[in-house]
A and B are shown apart, each in its own frame.
Chain A
Amino acid sequence: MTMNPWITHLMKRLFPPQVLLPDIIGIDIGLTVAAIAAIVFLTKTKRWGWLWREWITTVDHKKIGIMYLLAALVMLFRGGVDALMIRTQLIAPHQHFMSAQQYDEVFTTHGTVMIFFMAMPMVFALFNVAVPLMIGARDVAFPRLNAISFWLFAFGAILLNISFSIGGSPDAGWMSYPPYSELMFNPGVGENYFLLSLQVAGIGTIATGINFLVTVLRLRAPGMTLTRIPIFAWSALITSSLILFAFPPLTVALGLTMLDRIFGASFFTLGHQGMPMMYANLFWIFGHPEVYILIMPAFGVFSEVVPTFSKKPLFGYEAMVVSLLAISILSYGTWVHHFFEMGAGPGVNSFFGLSTMLIAIPTGVKMFNWIFTMWGGRIRVSVPMLWQLGFIPTFVVGGATGVMLAAVPADYQYHNSYFLIAHFHNVILGGTVFGVLSGMYYWWPKMFGWKLNERQGVWAFVFFVVGFWLTFMPQYFLGFQGMTRRMSTYPPGLGWTALNFWSTIGAYVMGVGFLIMVYNIIWSRIHPDWDTTGDPWDGRTMEWSLPSPAPEYNFARIPHVHSRDEWWEMKQEGRTDEVKISEETVHAIHMPRNTPMPVLLALAFFVGSIGMVFEWFWLAILGGLGVVAALTYGSFADYSEKEISRDTILHTEAQLGRVES
């Protein structure tokens, strides 16, 4: 039997040896079966039309938020499995659960997925769900752009995730420092996947930044001045401005690496006078603000959750805003602390060490302000509050070790060791992840109309937090023993075994916590605890004045705002009937119409990216033409609104009991 050589070549390209491992083939089969099952299910229940109309073409910020959330949870699963594989490999010396090559791929995708495809979309989910409702808006400023952002993220995520079964995964770490990420050391398509998927998702992220910047600045309800918006809206505003300035350097760094790899340029190569150090600078000029892009929304969530569950206004609102602004500005002046050891000299190192320490001041102010918000309150320990209560003692350790890392000569001993690994997991998990999970439990009823079971939520929390401490506290000590990050295994006799063992056990405990959370979601979906009031937590801000879930147009009548915590004041003064409408006050509402353009645009980007990954330029050009076509269609033919009539609104609101008789 002879095969066409062209086909043989293609098969070798698509399925090189590293994607033919038994476990990967097993996952491929599992995914195929799952996909077929989903297709059969959708066809049998005749849901294709529903899927297309209600979700794929939607421009409604609430639905986009839900899609972000679900995608982020799936990615949390994927990144979490990667983490468990890493920890399983390290449970004992000389383990060969995975080959070194596969280990490198797994820690690379773990980092990339967790930062770009789990934490970022989780943050955007909460922005989408909460911000427009909080500030009294009917949607974000650019609803179609919002959908474009989501679909670019989604196809970016798909692009990275198919790499392990088609063509091979990236293996140069989530930072992908050259020259290791260059062709000389890294042939194959893995790094191309990394570059293209982040590039595609990054366009979406920048668009989201623009969107929420304009939304918060321009779409606030009358009376909702900037000093009255909830801190979460402030955090969205400031995060968006960070995105706007932080992502372009990443775009440049990825773009130049792509030119090196695909077109033979030598910006960062080992030979030809390449300057790999330049990549490190560009990457961290993006990368440091990026970690604040991740943490500030968590700060915002806690600034909503603490007052609500303490029955008290936020302590020091102005200080909270000023400290957010201070952190955002300082975050641009700290990037060199990621490489004090690259020989910048004592002057530069001192400057960046100091600027890093300065960030601890506004962060410390925030910690104290949350505690003072609880002081003199009445603390209800519901699940969202529980995550906040777990956050304070955890994050303070991460913040404190951050200050230790900023002490330059001490950092010479911590850098790239497990001390560093423990530190950044301590702040990203203990800060961002605890924050977005708190926000998820908090706004879940507003998204879906039913609450998540409390008891199961508590168990998920307990397992997750106990697992977290067990996983990462030993890693600080591993750092002092000289264990460095990214070692695919280690020899016995260095004293690393016991601590690694406990760290792995902790990771599994955290995994159980995640499974309980999934169970919690599924169980609560089957046995829904309906939120009929729209205000399940006795909330303070405007989103709780709406029914759960909010109708398509959010506010039948845009509210007039007189104070911070407007909804709380209304409840105190017995003015809650003000949110009801009557036949005289209701007007028709114009809303943007659903459109397939965003998903088609993202699909074109996806096709073009596949072309670039495999260097099939005809396909890249085809994808590029698709992008142009989608943009042209979007600009000239896809500009329409629909009107929601008075009668429809009256009918909807009457069913919700919100029409004055």
Chain B
Amino acid sequence: MILTILALSPIAVGALLLVLPQILPSHAGDQVRTFSRNMCMGVSLGLFAISTWAAAHSLSDLDWMAIGFGSYELENTPVDLIPYIGVSWHVGADALSLPMIWLTSLVVPISMLVEWDAKRGHLFHPLLLVMEGAMIGVFVSLDLFVFYVFWELTLIPMFFLILMWGGADRRYAAMKFFIYTFTASVIMLIGILVMYFNTGTSISDRSFDLEVILASGSTMSEGLRHIVWMLLLVGFATKMPSVPVHTWLPDAHVQAPTAGSMILAGVMLKMGAYGFLRVAVTAFPGSTVVFTPLLVALGMASLVYGAWVCMGQTNLKRMVAYSSVSHMGLIFLGIATMQPLGIAGALFMMFAHGIISPLLFAVAGAFKHHYHTLEIGSMRGIAHHSPWLSGHMMLGWMASLGLPMMAGFVAEVAVLIAFWMTFGWLVLLPALTLIITAVYYLTSMQRTIFESNDPHNGLLPETLHGEPRDITWHENAGMAILGGLTILFGILPFFFWDMMSYWSSELIDTVLVAAMESEGVKP
């Protein structure tokens, strides 16, 4: 019931707030518009409270580490939606999805806060709310049909966010974002449908229920399994995104409004990794083991190549976007290690990046907002006139380059330890990439925070009139919360680490070990 509320209430409220002002008489409609922003914030804070309640073991008596693999807490009794083809409303959460749910319910209110004074806020904030519901829906649904519906539903609010509040080239970016990811998810849908048709011989036997559909993998021939795994991989890897299907991301990010970027990088990218683990790895452990070299190649390409591309960027937001590509590479590497530590590291990477990257995009957005430019080097010495902004930038950048005592480090070190255990000296490649990461982050800081203390020395753009001002209180608050959490989870990672570690061990133990043994792959 709780998960149903988490997924559906934001969609319902958001849709209502979008539609109601149009159909009510004009003065009532205006009142709804005025309160819309507060209502959105209220609802999303309520959802945050609920998900915190679910996540905090001491508050809720939900023990996320006592449920076996494949069973769920807060599960409902499935309600038939389309019984004819076996679709039902079936939701539940486990240690894989819970951190993501919590993350979603955290990032959305913060992105609302950061863009608290967005233009046309009566449309903006409800769209974010719809977005939140759709993303939570992806994480909670235990029925692949519903999963797919939510998966596609996330595209629509994001499409409008980019199209209506985006930058100069927003039409192209929105279209590219929509068509690119939609194509990929249609390919994924083919995979899901093949699985569905293998769940039974007649239409009455078939079901989209997760448990049933995951079991269908065992009835397929080996070749078909590999093909379906590949189809799923295309869908999920595009969402993550992994090189070479990543080019929608920088365009979408650069054009998207700040809150859109924060949600896109913070949560939407994780849907890809989540789906990959939830569906592809669990249903086809054999193919996952066989194609480990492919995963390593994809992860390595994203990580190393992504970092080099970052170094060649001149646009701050584009650089941050590519750094997301680079960091997502670590997730594939972590999964490919076939070690609980590596997979837990990948999960923690999803979580940590989910906190850090919204901070990065909030900072980049604040630049755009206050300095009207994103070109690295066109604003310098911001430490002088925007000390808060440069403080947040410093913190975010440092967190992202993997500085210890911040959340990203825990994930990085876990993945690397596991990577060494499995692949030995190949670890040099990701490890040396950490230096490249440091190079581009530090260079961009050198040329924005440092090197000047005179706002009128010609380095700042012409469009700026008078003294630039520091960020507004709501931007500051949003960034401070994210920064604080980054440090909190860096020093005390075990709040979520323990359940992730538990889930990874269970995944290996119940699913992957058998496949590794039969494929003859040594851990």
Q: Are A and B bound to each other? A: no
Chain A residues within CB distance 8 Å of chain B:
none
Q: Which residues of B does A touch, CB under 8 Å?
A: none
